[in-house]
């Protein structure tokens, strides 16, 4: 581009004299009058430079070859006529030739550099892609992680060992080579690893399991070698591998060959963690939510010595997590985080963070300056039930069917002794559901008694039976209820030993076959046993359906009151359902029009 520009601009940059132009015929006339003393003719361009007797210079352009008449005029005038042929300079001579040659040379230079870049990329494909964090970039600290004191204590020991190894050496203690963080998604496993990076004071190498995988076999193993070699050069270091299950899956369970890229990577990782050459001062921290599919050789002591479970947060942990995410947000005076923590069982830390943020968005949408308890309640409903579809058009017959369906669920939940307390009932479509009956447990549950599960089956049957009692027919609205009830009955018979006919036997869950593992032997019981399991599941479901029908038949007046209240107010609280049940139990007021409240009671 530079050569091309120079070629085009060179003629314009040549110095030129600023002479007045004169027509050719006037030039000849002045020659004839004797006013011209000197004429210089350019044989290449036909340019004629003229000088008069007064010392004034003019220029004109004539033919490249003067005619005989013009030559005679110049000869008769007796003036000095000079014919010259100017020689071109170096640039004008060679620049047109150098331009294509230069372009060709530049093309070959570019091709050579591109080939070298590709070769460098091929040579560096086996290098580790881990990101290194030093103590100068602390980021997250343990104080920023709410709850999980036991988990933080186990991880803090590793940090203490790397910072003060002599303290452990005096006692003869050996630091674990690997710690595996196991827990459901959203519980903060990666957040804990970031806190370790902030607290460690030693180099922290972070990499994900997918960074080892490549289309070329052996690249993952090469990256593992480079990762541990980099850590050894640092002396003491922590390696964090996120999503370990992507490379640590069981070997020998694939449908194809056994020497694929994943197995090569896993073999190299096993060797680096506790192979022939031991790695001292290097601690491997990994996180996964699928420990069941990891290779047993990876989980043995000496590689991952500890498995730290990061479960869903308990009540106290949820309270601390909500407090962390509520920082920097304007909360109204009616907000009680303790009440909110009790009302969010089973939510992970990510769910709680999303809950607070969703409440803030609702407050902004409604032009409030602070987040109120109502906004948090609406955010929880959206998180659990989905977005309300208030614009969805339902016919009156559909609304009535939904009202009796949800009233059946609500009445069973209110009357059964071991069922979870009823929180609210609504017939406003939310998410994929046309109505919702929400129950909130009073306390954390870790085991479930048989009577609780059986009452849960009755609650699930409540909507279907209520429609049958009121309209004489059933609808498709009970699809999800039947799916959940069937799954509960299957687990009672196959996994929990809650069937007298089958007895104390368990066969595990019917999960998807993993990579061909047990592909031909996914069922370890006979066809006769499978038939007995099906018959027992059918018996359990029919029995509890009969229980539900008897319960709603005995409390038919309460069912009507709750359904009418839902048709009038669309959403009622659990306390209101209990009041209507108590009201229907009184013979004098059962079924009367005065039994319905003018306004629904507020939902806690």
The catalytic site residues sit at 406
Task: State the pairing for strand pair 282-288/20-21.
Answer: unpaired
Element holding 21 (H helix, E strand) = strand 20-21
| CA 98, chain centre distance (Å) | 56
Neighbours of 530 (CB within 10 A): 13
Q: Is 292:182 a contact under the CB 8 Å cutoff?
A: no
Question: How many residues are given for the chain?
Answer: 604
The secondary structure of residue 385, as a DSSP letter, is: H
Q: How far is CA 472 from CA 465, 467, 543, in A?
A: 10, 7, 20
Among 440, 435, 442, 443, which Cα is nearest to 462's?
435
User: What spatial distance separates the first Cα and last Cα of the chain, rounded to whole Å?
Assistant: 75
Among 460, 455, 463, which Cα is nearest to 403's?
463
Among 213, 231, 4, which Cα is nearest to 95's?
4
Among 71, 70, 73, 63, which Cα is nearest to 33's?
73
Q: How far is CA 24 from CA 21, 30, 31, 59, 189, in A?
A: 9, 10, 11, 9, 94
Q: Is 514:253 a contact under the CB 8 Å cutoff?
A: yes
214 in the Ramachandran plot: left (φ > 0), alpha (ψ -120 to 50) or beta?
Answer: beta
Is the CA virtual torsion 69, 71, 74, 77 positive or negative?
Answer: negative
The residues near 79 (Cβ < 8 Å, ≥ 6 apart) are 31, 36, 37, 38, 39
CA angle 39, 42, 47 (to 5 degrees): 80
Q: Is 200:241 a contact under the CB 8 Å cutoff?
A: no
590 in the Ramachandran plot: left (φ > 0), alpha (ψ -120 to 50) or beta?
Answer: beta
Name the strands in the sheet holding 571-573, side by side, starting at the edge strand that comes first in the sequence: 436-439, 422-426, 571-573
Distance CA 506, CA 484 (A): 20
Residue 439's SS3 state is strand
Residue 463's SS3 state is helix
Distance CA 188, CA 310 (A): 8
Q: Is 498:450 a contact under the CB 8 Å cutoff?
A: yes
Distance CA 109, CA 152 (A): 57
Q: Is 205:227 a contact under the CB 8 Å cutoff?
A: yes
């Amino acid at each position: 581009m530079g050569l091309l520009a120079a070629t085009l601009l060179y003629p314009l940059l040549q110095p030129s004299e600023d002479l007045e132009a004169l027509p050719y015929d006037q030039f000849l006339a002045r020659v004839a009058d004797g006013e011209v003393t000197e004429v210089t003719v350019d044989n290449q361009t036909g340019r004629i430079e003229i000088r008069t007797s007064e010392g004034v210079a003019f220029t004109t352009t004539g033919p490249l070859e003067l005619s005989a008449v013009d030559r005679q005029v110049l000869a008769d005038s007796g003036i000095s006529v000079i014919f010259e042929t100017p020689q071109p300079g170096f640039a004008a001579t060679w620049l047109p030739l150098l331009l294509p040659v230069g372009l060709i040379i530049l093309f070959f230079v570019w091709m050579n550099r591109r080939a070298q870049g590709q070769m460098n990329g091929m040579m560096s494909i086996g290098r580790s892609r881990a990101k290194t964090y030093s103590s100068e970039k602390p980021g997250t600290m343990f104080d920023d992680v709410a709850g999980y004191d036991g988990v933080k204590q186990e991880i803090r020991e590793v940090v203490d060992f790397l910072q003060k190894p002599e303290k452990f050496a005096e006692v003869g203690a050996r630091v674990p080579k690997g710690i595996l963080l196991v827990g459901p998604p959203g519980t903060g496993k990666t957040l804990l690893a970031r806190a370790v990076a902030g607290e460690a004071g030693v180099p922290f190498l972070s990499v994900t399991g997918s960074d080892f995988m490549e289309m070329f076999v052996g690249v993952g193993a090469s990256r593992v070698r480079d990762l541990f070699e980099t850590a050894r050069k640092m002396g003491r270091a922590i390696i964090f591998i996120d999503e370990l299950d992507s490379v640590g899956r069981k070997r020998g369970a694939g449908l194809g060959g056994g020497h694929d890229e994943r197995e090569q990577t896993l073999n190299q990782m096993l060797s680096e963690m506790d192979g022939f050459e031991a790695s001292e001062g290097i601690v491997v921290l990994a996180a996964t939510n699928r420990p069941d599919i990891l290779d047993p050789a990876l989980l043995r002591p000496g590689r991952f010595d500890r498995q730290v479970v990061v479960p869903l947060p308990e009540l106290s942990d949820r309270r601390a997590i909500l407090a962390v995410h509520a920082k920097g947000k304007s909360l109204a005076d009616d907000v009680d985080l303790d009440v909110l923590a009790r009302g969010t069982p089973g939510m992970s830390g990510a769910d709680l963070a999303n809950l607070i943020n969703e409440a803030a968005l609702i407050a902004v949408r409604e032009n409030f300056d602070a987040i109120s308890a109502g906004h948090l309640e609406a955010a929880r409903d959206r998180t659990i039930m989905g977005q309300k579809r208030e614009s969805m058009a339902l016919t009156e017959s559909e609304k009535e069917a939904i009202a009796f369906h949800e009233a059946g669920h609500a009445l069973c939940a209110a009357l059964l002794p071991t069922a979870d307390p009823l929180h609210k009932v609504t017939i406003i479509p939310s998410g994929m559901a046309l109505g919702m009956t929400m129950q909130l447990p009073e306390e954390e549950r870790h085991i479930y008694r048989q009577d609780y599960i059986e009452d849960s089956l009755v609650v699930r049957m409540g909507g279907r039976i209520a429609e049958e009692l009121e309209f004489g027919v059933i609808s498709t609205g009970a699809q999800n209820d039947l799916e959940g009830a069937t799954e509960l009955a299957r687990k009672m018979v196959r996994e929990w030993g809650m069937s007298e006919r089958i007895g104390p036997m368990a066969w595990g869950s019917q999960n998807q076959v993993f990579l061909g593992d047990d592909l031909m032997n996914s069922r370890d019981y006979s066809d006769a046993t499978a038939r007995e399991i099906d018959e027992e599941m059918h018996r359990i479901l029919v029995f509890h359906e009969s229980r539900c029908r008897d319960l709603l038949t005995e409390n038919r007046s309460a069912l009507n009151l709750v359904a009418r209240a839902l048709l009038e107010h669309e959403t009622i609280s659990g306390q209101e359902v209990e009041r209507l049940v108590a009201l229907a139990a009184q013979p004098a007021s059962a079924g009367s029009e005065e039994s319905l409240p003018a306004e629904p009671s507020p939902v806690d």
